[in-house]
């Protein structure tokens, strides 16, 4: 009986662990675009890129936006679509640079519905 309980517990932990791993990128390494392509895209959008690293199979970018706010973003390495965006405003922030800027979203690879002007694949956005 104890063995069955232990086996059930371990199985449930493994299943729940797999569910938590959904945030990871699963793009095959052969399909990845170079980090420098992502760096240049961010520089072209006015970001000062401090670091690009691979985290959980995704590209993670840390730096400053064109207004000097700290930003951290997670990208799919194959498509360079933005998956998560975290912005730390210093009290003078304006989110319209991110939410209302269609050109910015298109450069980052998000699908835009021109009739409603909304992204059909929305990244997770955190604003502090």
Give the span between the Cα atoms of 109 and 63, in whole angstroms: 19
Task: Give the pTM.
Answer: 0.62
SS3 percent helix, strand, coil of the chain, rounded to 5, is: 35, 30, 35
Give the chain's domains with CATH numbers. 25-127 (3.30.505)
The answer to whether the CB of 108 falls within 8 A of the CB of 41 is yes
9 — pLDDT class (breaks 50, 70, 90): low
Cα–chain center distance at 36: 17
Tokens of 55: 């985290």
Q: Is the dihedral of CA 70, 72, 78, 81 positive or negative?
A: negative
The answer to whether the CB of 33 falls within 8 A of the CB of 78 is yes
Chain length of the chain: 128
Lowest mean pLDDT among 31-45, 63-77, 92-106: 92-106
- Mean pLDDT in residue range 36-58: 94
Residue 54: CB partners within 8 Å, gap ≥ 6? 60, 77
- Mean pLDDT in residue range 65-70: 88
Q: What rounded mean pLDDT belongs to the chain?
A: 75
Query: What pLDDT score does 115 carry?
Result: 42
- Given a cut of 70, whether residue 83 has pLDDT beyond it is yes
- Given a cut of 60, whether residue 92 has pLDDT beyond it is yes
- Given a cut of 60, whether residue 16 has pLDDT beyond it is no
For 17-22, the CB contacts below 8 A with 24+ separation are 21/56
Give the span between the Cα atoms of 89 and 46, in whole angstroms: 16
């Amino acid at each position: 009986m104890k063995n069955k309980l232990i086996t059930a517990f371990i199985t449930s932990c493994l299943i729940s662990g797999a569910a938590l791993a959904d945030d990871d990128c699963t793009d095959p390494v052969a399909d990845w675009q170079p980090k420098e392509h992502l760096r240049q895209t961010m520089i072209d959008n006015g970001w000062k890129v401090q670091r690009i690293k691979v985290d959980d199979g995704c590209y993670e970018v840390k730096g400053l936006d064109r207004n000097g706010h700290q930003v951290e973003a997670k990208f799919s390495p194959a498509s360079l679509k933005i998956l998560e965006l975290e912005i730390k405003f210093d009290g003078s922030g304006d989110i319209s640079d991110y939410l209302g800027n269609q050109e910015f979203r298109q450069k980052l690879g998000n699908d835009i519905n021109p009739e409603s002007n909304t992204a059909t694949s929305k990244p997770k956005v955190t604003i502090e």
